[in-house]
Amino acid sequence: MRVLFAAPDALWPAWAPVLTRLAPEMDLVRDADADPAGIDAIILAPGGPVGDLSPFVNARLVQSLWAGVERIVTNPTLTQPLARMVDPGLARGMAEYCAGWTLRAHLGMDAYAQDGVWRNDLTPSLAGARQVTILGMGELGRSVAAMLGGIGFRIAGFSASGRAVPGVEVVDPADLGRALSGAEILINLLPDTDRTRGLLDAGRLALLPGGAWLINPGRGTVLDDDALLAALDRGRLGHAVLDVFRTEPLPPGHPFWTHPRITVTPHVAAETRVETAAPVAVENLRRAMAGRPVLHLVDRQKGY
Catalytic positions, please? 219, 267
Residue 79 to residue 261: CA distance in whole angstroms: 44
- Give the burial class of 145: count Cβ atoms within 10 A of its Cβ; 0-12 exposed, 13-18 middle, 19 or more buried: buried
Write out the E strands in 78-151.
Answer: 82-83, 131-135
The Cα-based distances of 4 to 63, 73, 148, 197, 205 in angstroms read 10, 18, 39, 32, 44
Beta strands in 86-177, from DSSP E residues, in sequence order: 131-135, 154-158, 169-171
How far apart, in whole angstroms, are the C-alpha atoms of residue 136 and residue 160?
Answer: 8
Enumerate residues 6+ apart whose C-beta is below 8 A from 143.
Answer: 91, 92, 94, 95
155 bridge partner residues: 132
Contact 67, 270 (CB under 8 A): yes
Q: How far is CA 12 from the centre of its chain?
A: 23
131 phi, psi to nearest 5 deg? -95, 135
Q: Where are the beta strands (DSSP E) in the chain?
A: 2-6, 27-29, 41-44, 62-64, 82-83, 131-135, 154-158, 169-171, 185-188, 212-216, 237-242, 262-264
